[in-house]
Amino acid sequence: MTYARIAGIGSFLPEKVVTNKDLEKMMDTSDEWIRERTGIKRRHVVSDSETTASIGLAAAERAMADAKVGPADIDLIIVGTATPDKVFPATACMIQRRLGVKGCPAFDVQAACSGFIYALDIANRFIKTGGATTALVIGAETLSRITNWEDRGTAVLFGDGAGCVVLQASDEAGIISTHIHADGEYEDLLHVPCGISIGYDQTRSGRAFIEMNGNAVFKRAVETFDKIARETMADLEGEIGDIDWFVPHQANMRIITAAARKLGMPMERVIATVDEHANTSGASIPLALDQAVRDGRIKRGDTLMFAAFGAGFTWGSAVVKY
């Protein structure tokens, strides 16, 4: 049987950092207020010359170097993003061109903060069915471009960044289980109300910003993280203790802590980087994974659970033998 295994990881964060102290000068907020409610200390923000494609490319190049593969080896590119460079072509095609990869499928997946899990699920299916042997799965976001920097309810939460994993076909189990879901009933609780066929004039004038009902999203996120984990463990016929590391979407430290408590997962086994990166949507899981591998916490052979929850609402999970 053919499996998909993570052969390499890479990430990229813009050089510019916006701290909570910086936000104090821009809006009615404080470092204490932000930390207490979110756990966030700072976030990275792209420069005028950086785009989702450029930071996604940087993460992909680092992951390829880690996996020791070149452009000729890549036969699938999927980018999970809610902030593509253009309406079309796909950000994945732009990264494909800059890498010098020719002919393989390249496309974007829009599932908001669950984008990386959705992309991982799709790439896993390609590899298991023989449609690809070496895939780039990228989560990349420039959320600062759709953030209202006068709205303290959302501006304090989001940041920019990119992460990538190289998936390769293997005889050994790597991606053990994936689950993805959505429920459009909750569309208006977390959204950008303008786009191409709705409110295009507002989009063009730069007024298309993230809007969120924070309390409702928090409640649903915690409930859904618990549901994700229970579904995953039931599918595996295992217990949460079989998981070495929980790597959740980095939305908010309160959500991460509440989810870990519901799961019975000690925080010592939870990877949390939201304090340094804020919420980078589809990029947050690969960013957190890369940091934990680099600092030595996650090691080859460890069993990981990824879980994400995002606008839509979308949600998903993956169990991975690293």
Question: What pLDDT digit, counting tens, does each position of 106-135 carry?
Answer: 999 999 999 999 999 999 999 999 999 999
- Residue 262 has what pLDDT? 80
Q: Are residues 255 and 205 in the same domain?
A: yes
Q: In this structure, are residues 37 and 278 in contact, taking their beta carbons and an 8 Å threshold?
A: no
* Average pLDDT rounded to a whole number, residues 52-63: 99
* pLDDT above 80 for 94: yes
Q: Within this chain, do residues 188 and 249 fall inside the same structural domain, yes or no?
A: yes
The pLDDT of 213-231, averaged and rounded, is 88
Do residues 128 and 205 both lie within one domain? no
**What CATH number did the domain enclosing 140 receive?**
3.40.47.10
Can you tell me the distance from the alpha carbon of 246 to that of 307, in angstroms, rounded to the nearest whole number? 8
Residues 161 and 182 in one domain: no
- Say if residue 286 is in the same domain as residue 212: yes
Average pLDDT over residues 284-309: 97
| pLDDT tens per residue across span 237-249 | 777 778 999 999 9
Domain final residue, candidates 130, 147, 172: 172
A 10 A CB-CB count for 294 gives 12
Mean pLDDT, rounded, of the chain: 95
Among the listed residues 20, 124, 249, 252, the single catalytic one is: 249
Give the mean model confidence (pLDDT) for residues 65-74. Answer: 98
Strands (E), 150-231: 160-170, 175-182, 190-191, 211-212
If pLDDT is split at 50, 70 and 90, which confidence band does 206 have? confident
Give the rounded percent of residues in the chain with a pLDDT score beyond 70: 100
Query: Considering 113, 124, 252, 277, which one is annotated as catalytic?
Result: 113
Give pLDDT, residue 34.
97
Residue 232 has pLDDT above 90, yes or no: no
**Are residues 198 and 151 both part of a single domain?**
no
Q: List the 303-310 sheet strands across, edge first.
A: 175-182, 314-321, 303-310, 245-248
Report pLDDT digits (tens) over 130-158: 999 999 999 999 999 999 999 999 999 99
SS3 13: coil
Examine the fold and report which residue of 146, 172, 198 is the final residue of a domain before the chain moves on.
Answer: 172
pLDDT at residue 211 in the model? 96
Rounded Cα gap, residues 118 and 178, in angstroms: 9
Domain end, chosen from 111, 139, 172, is at 172
Work out the percent of the chain whose per-residue pLDDT is above 90: 88
Question: Beta-carbon neighbour count of residue 261 at 10 Å?
Answer: 13
Domain count along the chain: 2
Q: What is the pLDDT of residue 205?
A: 74
Question: What does the DSSP 8-state code read for residue 18?
Answer: E
Q: How confident is the model at residue 90 (pLDDT cuts 50, 70, 90)?
A: very high
Residue 210: what pLDDT? 97
Quote the pLDDT of residue 233: 77
Q: Which two tokens stand for residue 316?
A: 């998903």
**Same domain (yes/no): 130, 196:** no
Over 80: is that where the pLDDT of 203 sits?
no
Contact 127, 169 (CB under 8 A): yes
Count Cα neighbours of 131 within 13 Å in the Cβ-side half-sphere.
12
Measured at the alpha carbon of residue 242, what is the angle toward residues 240 and 245, in degrees to the nearest 5? 80
Q: What's the pLDDT score for residue 147?
A: 97
Range of the domain at 137: 3-172
Q: How confident is the model at residue 100 (pLDDT cuts 50, 70, 90)?
A: very high
30 has pLDDT over 80: yes
Q: What is the mean pLDDT of residues 245-255?
A: 96
249 is an active site residue: yes
Is the Cβ–Cβ distance between 138 and 92 less than 8 Å?
Answer: yes
Q: Are 255 and 301 members of one domain?
A: yes
Dihedral in degrees, nearest 10, Cα atoms 95, 98, 102, 104? -10
Q: What is the reported pLDDT for 181?
A: 97
Domain match, 291 and 186 both: yes
Residues 174, 232: Cα–Cα separation, whole Å: 15
Q: Is 20 annotated as catalytic?
A: no
280 in the Ramachandran plot: left (φ > 0), alpha (ψ -120 to 50) or beta?
Answer: alpha
* Predicted local distance difference test score (pLDDT) of residue 227: 86
Question: Which pLDDT band holds residue 234 (cuts at 50, 70, 90)?
Answer: confident
Question: How confident is the model at residue 47, as a pLDDT?
Answer: 98
Tell me, yes or no, whether 209 and 260 share the same domain: yes
User: Is 279 designated active site?
Assistant: yes
Residue 204 has pLDDT above 80, yes or no: no
Q: What is the pTM of this model?
A: 0.97
pLDDT at position 259, please?
87
Residues 111 and 16 in one domain: yes
In a shared domain, residues 165 and 55: yes
Give long-range contacts, CB 8 A cutoff, 24+ apart: 24-28.
Answer: 26/149, 26/150, 26/155, 27/149, 27/150, 27/151, 27/152, 27/155, 28/152
